Amino acid sequence: MFIHLRYFLFLGFFFHFLVAGKAQQLRLKEVSINLEQATIEETLTKLAEQYQIRFYYTPDDLSAQRLDYLYQNKPLTNILEELLTPASLGYFIYRDQSVAILPQEKIATLTAYREQFYQALDGQLQRGTSPQDIITIGNDQPSQEGSTAKIVGRLADANTGEPIIGATVFWPELQNGTVSDSRGLWETNIPPGNQHELQIQYIGYGSFSRQFEIIGDGFLDIKLLPVATDLATVIVLAEAQDDNVSSTQAGLSTFSVRSIKDLPTLLGEADVVRSVLTTAGVNSIGEGATGFNVRGGAVDQNLILQGGSILFNASHALGFYSTINPEIIQDVALYKSILPAEYGGRLSSVLQVDMRRGKQTGSRVAGGLGPVTAKLSAEGSFAEGKGTYLLGLRGASANWLLRQVNDIPISRSEATFFDGNLLLHYDLTEKDQLRLSLYRAGDDFSYNQEFGFNYKTASAEVNYTRKIREELSSELSLVANRLSSSRTDLAGAESGALLTGITYYKLKEVIRHQEEDWSWTAGLETILYHVPGQEQTPQGATSTLPNLKLEDEKGWESALFGEINWHPWEQLSVKAGLRINDYQYLGGRTLLEYGPDGNYDLSNVVDTLQYASGETIESYFTIEPRLSLRYQLSPEQSVRGGYSRTSQFVNQVFNTDTPTPQSQFQLSTPYIKPFLAHNFSLGYFRNFRKNRWETSVEGFYRAIDQLWDYQDFAALNLNPHLETELLDGQGRAYGLEASIKGRSLRFDGQVSYTWSRTERQITGINQGNWYPSNFDQPHNINLSFKYRIDERQSLSANFTFASGRPTTAPIVSYTNGNTIVVPIYTERNQLRIPDYHRLDLSYNIGMNKNKEKGFKTSWDFTLYNVYGRKNPFSVFYTQRVNQRRDFVANRLAILGTIFPSVSFNFEFL
């Protein structure tokens, strides 16, 4: 199916942008419009859609006469005068955002009462009303008798443009309702031919109540203004339609920005990964560990996407923070094991982080200060609203905090990190959009002036989307990304740096088709990997280390994928897909040839093979079916299951507890096979009390039929023949996840429990018997709660428990001629370190509503590790003094005390 290419030509690109000043004022805006035989109302509607201008008027005041309206780059004010003067109407521009249209006699008398009019209009906007009385939706009535009109709407914050998630949308006369999803979208089916009232309510926003005449299908774009609301007056009027029951995708968890920021923070910084860890089936081995584990998978078996860019390092400060800035994200989706066909290259999961667009009207500057962190974001529009920008910056320095510790090695240590995001969106036409995303991050850590770690990531993405037809769209993206890391020993004869990293270039095209009862997705993806060989360089005049560098590696991973989402009838929903992968390991490289018995040992080498640059050394072809099924037993309960075949061609090599900057990236080679797995999932989902309580029980099983692990005392660094240190085998992971979520006006809570096992069977380890993997933690419990005291104040709590993970320990020892003590270890991972548990508390004072100054502030007070648990990151063993054959266990706790923090946040509008 794929042609094996010998040479790959990468087309570079250079982008230059210039944003100067704010967008033009509304009264100076030039617009173009081309309408034939249209009414004034139709012309205003077109202007509103095309240029995001809000018009307020009474429909009876407008003439119904149809004329040709042809304007090219003409000031908006001139067009309004030509439209309105013949009908004795006038207008005035309200706060450079909206246009109010009134009879001229009212405009003439308005000057003396303009401030009162503004106040009255403000009140109407906050209540969700406008001077219009009834809005008509649709043009043509449905052709079939008894059919309904499909009303789709979008809710957004009128100031920021951000979607409003979880708002109640209710048609009281029909007793029909729903809630807005993570994109602010909602959908209902309404009988046509009558007038119906629509009510929308959400805490912190003015309620919306309007009359609509329903003729046919239509779309509503509604923006709500934030207001101070008495919680006691807000009533949930509708039964929510919840994804917990109705979603087709198996193993999917979603997170909103609000839920991420609700959790207690470490030193005042909200964190995406910590939110993911509250989900059943997801865990981490503790503080100081990078990344997360999903359903028994290793850290490097998760595909983390920020937009379309793959993040190989998702952690700052050796695991204490994630590299994803919550200020720039739209929403987050975690696919556990059962992956859509669009995603590939990893065994365990996909964490998709979608980034939001900057404000299309006005501008916003926000920031925050914590004990060690600082953040700043800015957003707004340019090019008369056709373009938007969003800039997010974060930085941290814990140096001053470390110097306060009463421990000399720690007080001489340093830790800093930074990251920055720039997102530019530009509307080329009504159907074409261009996005540029730039990302830069870095970490520096040194311990007691003895050794240090360093990470650096740089990424650029260009994304072009086109709406071909109403139901058909295309998305093309180009990504370039580079990660470099190093470990440096700063003192002694072996002082030096060990450098490694990975670079990739990705091209992806996706076509999406959406109909009412079915949809499909198809596309292709190709990624070129370049892994520079590990490099050792001496540091300082006294260093005796030699200069060493391994050969570079290259691999090319390509895929075709397609998926269909079908609703054959109301109860059943099917999502079926196929992903076809072709991976090629490329030269130039020098490889050893081993004997025919398959023993990869230096004593079994029979030849040395040299491959030219770009030559295909080895290729792997995999077919990956994907399937998710949902059967809805009733509106409140459903059964959902799925299967996916996954493969992985890029791994991190580390035999420590967690990846470090000296861990290297390893591509699949003729001797190091790709990981292959079958993933199964089946669950029961039930909601109670009008969806205020969501419950689920879900079981999973993963059979890994191709896997490798390290032999005892493996030498991994600067090893040009890594296959000699690896042993092949298989793996399995299985478990049961249960969760309960509850929400009310003042209270949100979630409890999740996971029982799971993850095991390996490797020839040459533990006599070929099954043994626990390094991250096998049978029991995981997460509890998170939030209580809203009033409109601004809230309390949050989070509790985490995890079983101690496996370890290998000395149990006896013997002496060799009374000179050398030789420890005897257990078989691999047969003992466990102590259990992990932690309680965090947070008190939040939310944003104030100072509209006059356009300035808002908030405060976060957090206690991390409230009862000062000395959670072990690892356990190591030392020989007891004066008892040479006795070893004592030592607990290494990264954070062994309570960590209080205060952070201040601000926002300019």
Question: What is the predicted pLDDT for the residue at 108?
Answer: 52
Question: What is the predicted pLDDT for the residue at 907?
Answer: 85
Question: Does 17 or 369 have the greater pLDDT score?
Answer: 369
Distances (CA, A) of 323 to 271, 275, 817: 9, 13, 53
CB atoms under 10 Å from CB of 457, counted, come to 22
Q: How confident is the model over 193-223, as pLDDT tens digits?
A: 778 888 887 766 767 888 888 877 777 878 8
Q: How far apart are CA 400 and CA 412, in angstroms?
A: 10
What is the residue whose two structure tokens read 């009510």? 199
Question: What is the predicted pLDDT for the residue at 11?
Answer: 30
Q: Please name the CATH architecture into which domain 26-132 falls.
A: 3-Layer(bab) Sandwich (3.55)
- Does 106 have pLDDT greater than 70? no
Which of the four pLDDT bands, split at 50, 70 and 90, describes residue 143?
very low
Q: Does domain 135-241 have CATH number 2.60.40.1120?
A: yes
Question: What is the predicted pLDDT for the residue at 244?
Answer: 77
Question: What is the predicted pLDDT for the residue at 10?
Answer: 32
Mean pLDDT computed over 691-708:
91
Q: How far apart are CA 510 and CA 465, in angstroms?
A: 9
Q: How far apart are CA 733 and CA 295, in angstroms?
A: 7
CB atoms under 10 Å from CB of 590, counted, come to 11
Lowest mean pLDDT of 32-46, 344-358, 514-528, 794-808, name the range. 32-46
Which of the four pLDDT bands, split at 50, 70 and 90, describes residue 240?
very low
Question: What is the predicted pLDDT for the residue at 19?
Answer: 29
Mean pLDDT computed over 49-66:
76
Q: How confident is the model over 37-50, as pLDDT tens digits?
A: 888 888 888 888 77
Mean pLDDT computed over 836-844:
91
CA angle 759, 762, 766 (to 5 degrees): 85
Bond preceding residue 768 cis, omega within 30 of 0: no
Question: What is the predicted pLDDT for the residue at 657?
Answer: 59
Q: How confident is the model over 396-418, as pLDDT tens digits?
A: 888 887 777 677 777 788 888 89
Q: How many alpha carbons fall within 13 Å on the CB side of residue 480?
A: 9
Which of the four pLDDT bands, split at 50, 70 and 90, describes residue 140?
low
Which of the four pLDDT bands, split at 50, 70 and 90, describes residue 658?
low
Buried b (16+ CB within 10 A) or exposed e, 792-831: bebebbbbbbbbbbbbebeeeeeeeeeeeeeeeeeebbee
Q: How confident is the model over 467-508, as pLDDT tens digits?
A: 888 789 999 999 999 999 988 888 778 888 899 999 999 999
Question: What is the predicted pLDDT for the residue at 611?
Answer: 94
Question: What is the predicted pLDDT for the residue at 482?
Answer: 96
Return the percentage of the chain with pLDDT > 70, whole number. Answer: 83
The two tokens of residue 798 are: 């989070």
Contact predicate 146/216, CB 8 Å: no
Question: What is the predicted pLDDT for the residue at 245?
Answer: 83
Question: What is the predicted pLDDT for the residue at 505?
Answer: 98
Beta strands in 764-835 (DSSP E): 771-772, 779-788, 793-802, 806-807, 810-816, 820-825, 831-832
Question: What is the predicted pLDDT for the residue at 326?
Answer: 87
Which of the four pLDDT bands, split at 50, 70 and 90, describes residue 644?
very high
Question: Does 792 or 105 have the greater pLDDT score?
Answer: 792
What average pLDDT does the structure give for the chain?
A: 81
Q: How confident is the model over 856-880, as pLDDT tens digits?
A: 888 889 898 899 888 876 666 666 6
DSSP 493-505: TT-EEEEEEEEEE
For the four alpha carbons of 787, 793, 797 and 798, in that order, the dihedral sign comes to positive
CATH superfamily of domain region 252-908: TonB-dependent receptor, beta-barrel domain (2.40.170.20)
Q: How far apart are CA 514 and CA 864, in angstroms?
A: 45
Q: How far apart are CA 629 and CA 338, in angstroms?
A: 11
Lowest mean pLDDT of 422-426, 605-609, 901-905, name the range. 901-905
Reported pTM: 0.75
Q: Where are the domains of the chain?
A: 26-132, 135-241, 252-908
- Does 839 have pLDDT greater than 90? yes
Q: How confident is the model over 763-803, as pLDDT tens digits?
A: 989 989 999 998 899 999 999 988 888 777 889 999 999 99
The 3-state DSSP class for residue 652 equals strand
What is the residue whose two structure tokens read 């080329």? 428
Question: Does 432 or 331 have the greater pLDDT score?
Answer: 432
Q: How confident is the model over 665-686, as pLDDT tens digits?
A: 999 999 999 999 999 999 999 9
Question: What is the predicted pLDDT for the residue at 273?
Answer: 83
Which of the four pLDDT bands, split at 50, 70 and 90, describes residue 338?
very high
Mean pLDDT computed over 281-308:
86
Question: Does 815 or 885 have the greater pLDDT score?
Answer: 815
Mean pLDDT computed over 181-187:
76
